[in-house]
Amino acid sequence: MNKKLFLLFVFFTAIMSAQNFGIKGGINFSNLTNFDKSFEEEVESESIRTSFHVGFYNEFKINDNLSIQPELLYSSQGINNESDGIDGKVQLDYINIPVLLKIYLTEGFFLEAGPQIGFLVNDDIKVGTLNFSDNEDLFNTVDYSMDLGLGFKLSEGVFLNARYGFGLNGVFNSSEEGSDNNPKNSVFAASLGFNL
């Protein structure tokens, strides 16, 4: 874990040292996909979990139409569900590091895409009134995903952004859960960003 914290510190320092540094935050609509049939038979309904993300970004211009934007975000994700009339929740909180290629199609409108790595920093499972936290052996501590998005610059220092991230590996530790049907993160995020 110390190596992860050190890498996050180095990454954060690198972001802050550059010129187009800013903060962003917004709302998450998250879900878990790729459940196996046994889970779908046990759970009566699944629903989107609404939460938040917040963090830092920096945009490195390549030319007038291309840039690379690394970010460091705290993102709360997971899913809500119901079984036998009992509400449940799986909350997975990550420190996410996306690195995005941004393509400006017009002066303000852009598309973006790139990989993301996430480090699990908190997990919480709720079944009715029961809470189960710190399930370290149950969940993968590292999450890999791809992000696709679009956005619009409202002014030189302010932008709106919508992004979809789809997981590439399962959220459960493969030794604890069957890897063939291991649920993956699925997150739609809407953000507002400000240059500092």
Q: Does the pLDDT value for residue 17 go beyond 90?
A: no
Q: Are strands 184-195 and 109-127 parallel, antiparallel or unpaired?
A: unpaired
Q: Does the pLDDT value for residue 103 go beyond 90?
A: yes
User: Bridge-partner residues for 152, per DSSP?
Assistant: 109, 160
Query: What's the whole-number mean pLDDT along residues 100-123?
Result: 95
Residue in the structure block whose two tokens are 């052996």: 137
Top pLDDT among 127 and 185 is at 185
Q: Does the pLDDT value for residue 129 go beyond 80?
A: no
Three-class secondary structure assignment of 67-96: EEEEEEEEEEEEEEEEECCEEEEEEEEEEE
Q: Which range in 80-84, 96-100, 120-124, 178-182 is most confidently predicted, on average pLDDT?
A: 96-100
Q: 20 pLDDT band (50/70/90 cuts)?
A: confident
The residue among 24, 99, 25 whose CA lies nearest residue 67 is 99
Q: What is the pLDDT of residues 81-92, one digit of tens each?
A: 766 666 778 899
Task: Round the average pLDDT of the chain to a whole number and report it.
Answer: 83
Q: What is the pLDDT of residues 23-33, one digit of tens each?
A: 999 999 999 88
Full domain range(s) for residue 116 = 3-195
Identify the pLDDT of residue 59.
Answer: 92
Q: What is the CATH number of the domain that holds 8?
A: 2.40.160.20
- The b-or-e profile of 12-37 (16+ CB within 10 A means b, else e) is eeebeeeeeebebebebebbbeebee
Q: Does the pLDDT value for residue 57 go beyond 50?
A: yes
Q: Does the pLDDT value for residue 177 go beyond 60?
A: no
Radius of gyration of the chain (CA): 18
Q: What is the pLDDT of residues 138-171, one digit of tens each?
A: 889 999 999 999 999 998 889 999 999 999 999 9
Identify the pLDDT of residue 38.
Answer: 44
Identify the pLDDT of residue 182.
Answer: 83
Q: 5-14, 26-35, 58-67, 165-174: which range is least confident on average?
A: 5-14
Q: Does the pLDDT value for residue 16 go beyond 60?
A: no
Q: Which residue type sits at 113?
A: A
Identify the pLDDT of residue 36.
Answer: 56
Chain centroid offset of residue 138 CA: 19
List of residues 6+ apart from 93 with CB closer than 8 A:
74, 75, 76, 77, 120, 121, 122, 123
Q: How many domains does the chain have?
A: 1
The residue among 62, 61, 60, 58 whose CA lies nearest residue 72 is 58
